Every structure is written in C-alpha cells, then in structure tokens.
Amino acid sequence: MKKVYRMAAVAFWDVILINLALMLAIFIHNEGRFDYGSLVDYAYLLIAITGIKMLVFKGFQLYSSLWEYASIEELMKVVAAVFVGNTIGIIYSTLTDFNIYWGVYVVSFVFEVAFVGGNRFSYRILRRIKQNKSLTRQDDHNRVLIIGCGSTASLIATEIKTHPSQYGHLIGYISDDDAKYGQTIAGIKVLGNRYDILSIVKRHKVDEVIVAMPTATKEQTKEILDECKRTGAKVKIVPGIMEVIDGRVSMNAIRNVEIEDLLGRDPVNLNISQIASYIEGKIVMVTGGGGSIGSELSRQIARFRPNKLIILDIYENNAYEIQNELIREYGDKLELEVLIASVRDKKAINRIFAEHRPQVVFHAAAHKHVPLMERSPKEAIKNNVFGTLNLVEAANDYRVERFVLISTDKAVNPTNVMGASKRLCEMIVQSMAGQSETKFVGVRFGNVLGSNGSVIPLFKKQIEEGGPVTVTHQDIIRYFMTIPEASQLVIQAGGMANGGELFILNMGEPVRIYDLAEDLIRLSGLKPHEDIEIKVTGLRPGEKLYEELLMAEEGMSNTKHEKIYIGAPYDINFKILKSNLEKLMDMIPEATDEEIKDRLTVLVPTYKRLDVHTSSQVSSAEDVAKFKENKRYIDAQILKDSQLAREGVRIGKMKRIPVDDFSANVSENMI
C-alpha cells in the first residue's frame, strides 16, 4: 500500500509540473502576456496533452523505478519520456488546429526535464544530505578506503554511500594511475597510490580496506595485500572479473581475504584439447575420490565429459558428499559410480577393474599425516605401498591406458615413514612403466591449502578458539598450492604422459609457516602476539624444516607447460622390487615398528631417519642453508634446460640406476 501511495504522489506532482512547464513556455513565448480569451481552449489542450504524457511516462516505467537510487540511467529515461511526450503533443495540437508555435514545445521540453527529473532526484539529494549530517555526528563510524578507481570501485562506492549506516563512511580511493591523484569520483577524492596505503590508513584512521581490482593479476593483488597487511585495518576483496562481469557486483559479493590471495599465483592455463583427448568419452577412476584432492579431481574431470566417472573410497561420508554434489551439478549428464572399497583389498580391486574396465586411473588414496604414520608405520606401508601395488598390477592386467599417481615432495630425501612410503609408490609406478603398455606416471607436489590435515584449517580453528596458534618451528618452510590448481595440473600432467615420468609441479616460492600463522591472525582482524599467541612446539618426529621437490640426482627438464617439469625416470626392475616388497609384507605381522623403519632405509636408499630427540635440535641455519642450496640447483637446472631448448638441443637426459646395482644393494641388505 505504501508503494501505491508513493506512486500516486509522484504522478500527482508530474501532472502539476507538466502543466506548469507548458504554461511557463506559453508565457515566455507571449512575452509575459496571456490571451485570457483563449484560456478555455488552452485548458482543453492542457488536459489532453497531460493525459498523453502521463501514458507515455507510464510506458517508460517512470513510476516503477526506485528513485532513492536514481542514476544517469534514470535521467536518460526521463529525457526520452519527455521528448516522446512533447513530440506526440505537437502532432496532437497540429491535428486539432491548436496553432501553438513549435518553439513553445522546445522551451516546454527544457522546463519539463528540469521539473520532472528534479522532482525525482530531489529525494536522493535530501537523503544524501541527511546521511552526511548523521555521519558528522558519528566519530566512531566505520571508515572505508577503496583500492581501485575502475567501474567496480565506483559500484562499490555507490553502495557504501547509499547505505552508510550499514557499510560505513567512504573516505577515499587508491589508484596507481598518477593522473587520477587529487581527482574526485562521486565527490570522493583519490588520495594516493599503493605505496601510500599505510600512511593514508593511519592519517585518516581507516577501519576497513576494500580491494576492488577484479582485473588485477594474482601477483599484483598479492603486492597490494602485502601493503594492506601492514596497516592493521580489516581487509576485504572483490571477487575476480568473471564474478563481476556486466556490473553484477554488490557488497554481498565482497569477501574476506584468504591465504590463497596472498600466494600471488596466477590461474593455471590448461591445454584443453590435450586433456579432452584422453578423458572425454573414457571410463575414469579416482581412488580416494572423497578426499580433498580426489574430490577436486573428480570435479575437474567431470567437466571434460567422461563416459563414466568412478569414485573409489573407503570413507563413505566423503564419498557420499561428492556424489551428491556431482549429481546436483550434472544430473543425468554424468554417469557416476561411487564404490566403497579399500585399495589394500587386492581381490576387491581386481573385481572392480574386471567389472568396470577403467581406462584412466588417478590414484589419490593414501595415508598422509606425517606424525600419525610415524607412530603407525605398518599401516602406512599396507595402505600406501601395497595399495599402490595392487592398483598398479590391476591397471597392467586390465590394460588401463593411463595411470597417474599423486605423490608428494615428502618423498624427496624422506625423513619420515610417510615420505618413504610415497617414494616406494613412485618406484613401483616407475618400475612397472618399463614393462607395461599402460602409461604409468607420478605427479609430485607440496602442501595443498585447505586440504584435510592442512595447517590452514587447524590455524583457523585455533584462532576461533582464541589461540594459541601452534607452529612446530619458527623457521619451518613449506611449498603451497591451492586444491584446484594442484588438481588441474595433475590432470594436465596426465595428458603429457609417455610412461615412467615423474612430473614435478612448480609450487612457486616457499612460505614460512610462522608468517602464514601471522597472516591468518591479521586477516581475522586480530593482532598476532597481542590478541592471539603463537606458540612454537618443536619439530615432530620425522619432520624437517624444508621440503624439496626433487632429488639432486634426478635432474629436471622443461615441458610445454610452464608449471610442470619432468624428473628423469629410474630404470628399476619391477620383479626384483616386488620380491623385496613381498619380504617386507611378510615381516609386518611380527616385526617391531623400529625394524620396519630400518627395512625402509634399505628399500629407499635416500630415506634418512630423524630421531625424535635429535630432530628438534637441528640447526635452523643449517637446514635453511640446505634448502637454499637445493633451490639454487633447481633454478639453475631450469635455466639450463631453457637455454638448451632455445638452442634446439634435446633436454632432460635420463639418469638411470643400473638394475644390478639396485638389486645387489637391496638383496644384500634383505637377506
């Protein structure tokens, strides 16, 4: 009812203003004189033209707009309606022999636009004046700074100014375009560039910073967010350009800054045709398909229209969740099979392969928690090593086209059982590649943000509980990658497989976990060491300060994808390796955990056990120096390969371990 009264009031004023505009135009045309003898005739004309114009205004929807949000679009609508109304008025007066000079309508047009448009915009102007007065009385009102001066920033600014009680008081913009410095946008000034953010926040007592640059690269966004972190103000960010296209952006779309934003990693560029050629129309299986990596792999694979997607997992709850998600997303367009089974169960695996005949297998099922596996090494071996062996043999027996193992940087020079078990998985895959028609490959990468067991969910939970946030060592360093990025690169690497490769993903720059904890606390609107304590607990069993992505003897060569490299494969005899693994399996029922770990050092020559009592005493300077030395080797290898590639020289020569040396070393120690 309130809406009807408001529309009636606006229409009532339009009737008065239309007549007033035309009467003033006639008055001016007659040089201040009215022909009172023709007043009755004018009255009939005014009634007719008023009726015509009201119908035109209704046709242009001038009574269905929210004029408290009136903008240039509404003004253009008023101009168009008045123009059409006056045009029809001229035609009507001509046909009815009202000899009114056409100039009267020109003057009337100007008055009418001013009166009708002014009537509508006056509400917004009065509302803004009232809001500004209320803001001057609120010294503690939320003060907002917008970084960006584009159309997105303008839309956000409009919402803030329209709803100051909800969003705060906009104090200015930041722009890297020096030409905009000192200029105003919607009455608000551009205060400086990104290097002025800290001083501007302090000077104007800014409470909240909104980064409104959806077209900026990840690297540019990271640089800006690094500046924002120093301010102590709460930081929010506008989504990427695909989410705000066509101007569809609002304050509801603005989200809190996540750690992923601070990594500064650009989106993965996928070779769609290469991926589609080996997934589209194929039967694809994902083991561990309910886990963080496996579920994201399933989401990405579903995009490429496989003939059937098989999700295999031992944990029914996770499998059920991804099943429901994919059904909601694709419905009948995706043939989906969700199977509950353990990769340890050789008979079950063979039965599944015989029934479903997968053509592509992504093996993500694994025990991955380092401290837990250190305490339960037998479980790590049974699940990771022999689960992989079961799948690899089944894939070979049932002629799977491609088999992709998900590995980890902890398999490089492992210092823990989990890493050693994953290195054995790599060896199984590489050794089978030498005697199978199936293209067996492994993909190695570091920690994945937000995955099950990742430090990020742990830190967030600790912050929500008021702290302390626990870090094992102040100088511990890790590589990080987002779940979608890792999954996409795994799928891309699968498309490059020829058999036997160990693909290594470019993880970007390593991150200090202590800095990560501080960033998460700041992004939560709190101060590290004041609001939330950071507690250093000491290195856990088998944990080292740094992770590597390849062993020095592996070597590394480029691929066509800038984020994927290849470590040279090893020539390992599968039969000899399997024979020694069977001896390891025979030991498991009776052997102690220590005996199992000792045996792993035989099977994995690069496995160096770290005693729990000595691991916490490792010199951080020494470990960091080793990390830097390893990284220098990687950078130098990449540079060398790039130069050779430009010169047209074949790169990535394989370094092979002679079979006899491997078998002699293993056999001698296993006897």
Active site residues: 410
Neighbours of 221 (CB within 10 A): 22
**Residue 384 to residue 608: CA distance in whole angstroms:** 19
**Residue 360 to residue 307: CA distance in whole angstroms:** 11
User: In a 10 Å sphere around its CB, with 0-12 CB exposed, 13-18 middle and 19+ buried, how is residue 484 labelled?
Assistant: middle
Neighbours of 191 (CB within 10 A): 19
**Residue 362 to residue 442: CA distance in whole angstroms:** 10
215 residue type, one letter: T
List of E strands, 288-370: 308-313, 336-340, 360-363
Q: ω into residue 468 within 30 of 0, thus cis?
A: yes
Structure tokens at 33: 């004189």
The one-character DSSP state at 605 is T
**Residue 35 to residue 42: CA distance in whole angstroms:** 10
Structure tokens at 258: 């996540």
N residues, the chain: 671
Terminus-to-terminus CA distance in the chain, angstroms?
92
> Is 100 in contact with 94 (CB distance < 8 Å)?
no
Instruction: Identify the three-state secondary structure at position 643.
Output: helix
List the beta bridge partners of residue 69: none
**Residue 475 to residue 40: CA distance in whole angstroms:** 93
**Residue 469 to residue 131: CA distance in whole angstroms:** 42
Neighbours of 180 (CB within 10 A): 16
> Is 521 in contact with 502 (CB distance < 8 Å)?
no
**Helix boundaries (H) for 381-512:** 386-397, 417-433, 455-464, 483-496
**Nearest by Cα to 507 from 481, 487, 484, 483:** 481
**Residue 560 to residue 370: CA distance in whole angstroms:** 33
